[in-house]
Amino acid sequence: MKSMTYPAFLQEGPLKLVFFGGKGGVGKSTCASAAALKLAQEQPQHLFLLVSTDPAHSLKNMLSDVVLPQNLEVCELSAADSLHAFKLQHDASLKEIADRGTFLDQSDIQGLMDAALPGMDELAAYLEIAKWIQDDSYYRIIIDTAPTGHTLRLLEMPDLIHRWLIALDTLLAKHRYMRSHFGGNKRLDHLDAFILDMNASLKNMQTLMADATRCNFILVLQPEAMIVEESVDLAHALSQRQVFMSELVVNRLLPDNDCPICFAERSRQIRALKNIMRRLPGQVFWTLPLLAEEPRGSLLCGLWSELRLLDKSEIMTTISSHKLPLHIEEPVPLPANTLRLLIFAGKGGVGKTTLACATALRLQSEYPQLRILIFSTDPAHSLSDCLGVSVQNTPTSVMFKIDAQEINAEADFEKIRSDYRKELEDFLQDALPNLDITFDREVMEHLLDLAPPGLDEIMALTTIMDHLDSGRYDMIIVDAAPSGHLLRLLELPELIRDWLKIFFSLLLKYRKVMRFPHLSERLVQLSRELKSLRILLQNVEQTGLYAVTIPTYLAIEKTYEMTCTLQRLGIATNALFINQITPNSDCGLCKTIKRNESLQIRHAHDIFSALPQARIYRQMDPAGLSELMALGSALYL
């Protein structure tokens, strides 16, 4: 029965900021675009903004044949452009701050700050959104977020910006003291005002995001086991950060009909829905059905007419169980056992984790002498859910000669910060016990807070080289972050290298004043591992990359863009997996979906004509070692 009401995010009201978030591939862009169109069409008196914070944008593709209402603006944030604008606006203030009050000269601090600003899409997004909110430019801002891991980094931006502002304020503290103590001038100057204004903007944004009447986070998910696990983790993370999550949108729910394909898929969905309802009690669940036509372009305008309020009691009492058989066409050649690095890359939600795990098991079966590590670089890890093993931040045994690891980049870098502060304290007590350098000490304490955002993830990524160089593993299989995040990581090493050069020159210049042998050793190691990683990634004899996609227009376009960027970075793609294809059926819905998917599969065949292409049909949840082993056996020749 159709719901007679709509959720708050589709109605007029006090909401200023609406985030659509969740795992990659669940329909965030679809929901955000459709919501923005509906609001703008029904409320022509208000101005709306639809903005994407995903580095792998899809809004313009999705809205390509839509005539936008005059009161709707669309923005795909460019990190480079936003940060360039920020530097142009504030460069003079930053240089003047760098010139004040420490034994480090202007070129030292300015160099560090210049190198620190690039590299974090979420930082650009947060600063841009904060400015729009402060200027009150729009009645409501609808945000199409990046996949979960990226979104969590966006929500962590207040902490990063707060540390950065403290570092800048510390640079001003000595000058402020000297001006007050010797000149009697206690008034705040323009640089103090700059810091205060930035801090006020940060606090306003934090206050807004904690205000349930003005900010909502809409969790979008598909009712599948692994998506549910990631969605529950995200819901808990939002709660910890005091971000209000009002409703969930369960997307692509299959109908209850007589089709064996629909019945099998719906059985799997019901099990997943029961799981999330038990774990997120009290939440409001809305549903959108699986549509025969991919909802993009003009079809977005009618999407919310399909919205239903989920009947929880009906779902919890439903009993159904049926599985689809494993079916793969055109398996591809098995990766060579001489590869040292094998990467599974693609848009979020296409099945990278599953295929990476299945491949590891198949390779170990074929080459029992191989020592293999499955390594997740996605901040929103799912190896544990896929393997049925509690994977840790250090290598965790999965089975004989196969380990798995889910890196915690933030925790690893915090350990380096802590070690640096301890080394600084020891040095000052040993070398300068009777000298009070309070202000310079504080500046030195905050030097690592001027490190480039993303340095933590790069340092974690170089763990790969540490594992390979130690000889502990013969091959590392990487379950990569969604394509936008992955490409940013692969482009970051050049930025990190520049920052390291500046930091090393600073340590060398002031070696008589400050000595940090442990930090220096770790950064030298990082520099060496970065160089080795770049060389390895471009070595076609030792590195393989398998692209994973699904048979939809947007997914295939994004996969093509990803492979082109990888090619420019010198990284070759070995094969393509087209996942989640609809099996043959007499059902009208399945027939229409199958027809549309066939067009996209032919399109993929044309644009990826040089690559082997395996076609994987929708099937049971391949979770657990035995089912992953069966999948791995069928994937490869």
Are 141 and 276 in a shared domain?
A: yes
**311 within some domain:** yes
| Parent domain of 629 | 324-408+455-637
In-domain check, residue 7: no
Are residues 486 and 589 part of one domain?
yes
pLDDT of residue 461: 76
pTM of the model: 0.79
Most confident of 94-98, 222-226, 339-343, 523-527: 339-343
Q: Is residue 102, in this structure, part of any structural domain at all?
A: no
**Which position has the higher pLDDT, 297 or 592?**
592
Of the candidates 317, 350, 367, which is a domain's last residue?
A: 317
- What count of other Cβ atoms lies within 10 Å of the Cβ of residue 217? 25
pLDDT in tens, 71-105: 999 998 876 676 667 767 777 776 676 665 455 56
Give domain status of residue 130, yes or no.
yes
Q: What is the CATH number of the domain that holds 285?
A: 3.40.50.300
* Edge-to-edge strands, sheet with 372-376: 328-329, 613-617, 575-581, 543-549, 341-346, 475-479, 372-376, 402-406, 396-399
Same domain, 301 and 329: no
pLDDT in tens, 468-504: 989 999 999 999 887 776 776 776 666 677 777 776 6
**Does the pLDDT at position 169 exceed 80?**
no
Are residues 478 and 342 in contact, defined by beta-carbon separation less than 8 angstroms? yes
Read off the pLDDT of each residue in 368-388 and give the average, rounded to a whole number: 88
In sequence order, which ranges of 294-437 are alpha helices (DSSP H)? 312-317, 352-366, 383-387, 409-431
Q: Which of 297, 317, 337 is the last residue of a domain?
A: 317
Mark whether 540 and 474 lie in a shared domain: yes
> Within a domain: residue 513?
yes
Q: 319-374 pLDDT, tens per residue?
A: 666 678 889 999 999 999 999 999 999 988 899 999 999 999 999 999 999 999 99
Say yes or no: 223 and 256 in one domain: yes
pLDDT of 2: 40
Query: Rounded CA gap, 168 and 622, in Å?
Result: 50
At residue 120, does pLDDT exceed 70? no
User: Total structural domains in the chain?
Assistant: 2
pLDDT per residue as tens digits for the range 173-193: 766 665 665 455 566 677 778
Helix (H, G, I), strand (E, B) or coil at 346: strand
Does 290 map to a domain?
A: yes
Residues 471, 368 share a domain? yes
- Cβ contact 581:615 at 8 Å: yes
Pair 310, 378 in one domain? no
**pLDDT at res. 90:** 72
> What is the pLDDT at residue 444?
63
Nearby residues of 265 by Cβ (< 8 Å), 6 or more positions away: 254, 324, 618
Q: Are residues 290 and 375 in the same domain?
A: no
Same domain, yes or no, for 579 and 602?
yes
pLDDT at 590: 94
Encoded amino acid at 600, one letter: Q
Rg (CA), the chain: 26
pLDDT at 105: 60
- 465 pLDDT band, cuts 50/70/90, is confident
Report the Cα–Cα distance between both ends of the chain, in Å, rounded: 49
Of 283, 317, 351, the domain-final residue: 317
Residues 510 and 604 in one domain: yes
Q: Is the pLDDT of residue 107 over 70?
A: no
Of residues 517 and 28, which shows the higher confidence score? 28
Provide the mean pLDDT of the chain.
Answer: 82
Long-range contacts of the stretch 230-236 (C-beta < 8 A, 24+): 230/22, 230/23, 230/148, 230/380, 230/382, 230/385, 231/22, 231/23, 231/276, 232/276, 232/279, 232/280, 233/148, 233/380, 234/21, 234/22, 234/23, 234/148, 234/151, 234/152, 234/380, 235/280, 235/283
For residues 66-70, give the mean pLDDT.
Answer: 91
* 470, part of any domain: yes
Which of 631, 123, 552, 38 shows the shortest CA–CA distance to 295?
Answer: 552
Average of pLDDT values for 610-636? 89
Do residues 382 and 311 share a domain? no
pLDDT value for 201: 78
Nearest to 303 by CA among 220, 217, 214, 212: 220
Q: What is the mean pLDDT of residues 549-578?
A: 92
Do 241 and 376 fall into the same domain? no
- According to DSSP, the β-strands at 402-406 and 543-549 are unpaired
pLDDT, mean of residues 608-628: 88
Q: Kindly report, residue by residue over 244-300, the tens digit of the pLDDT.
A: 887 899 999 999 888 989 988 888 899 899 999 999 988 899 999 999 888 888 889
Indicate whether 96 belongs to any domain: no
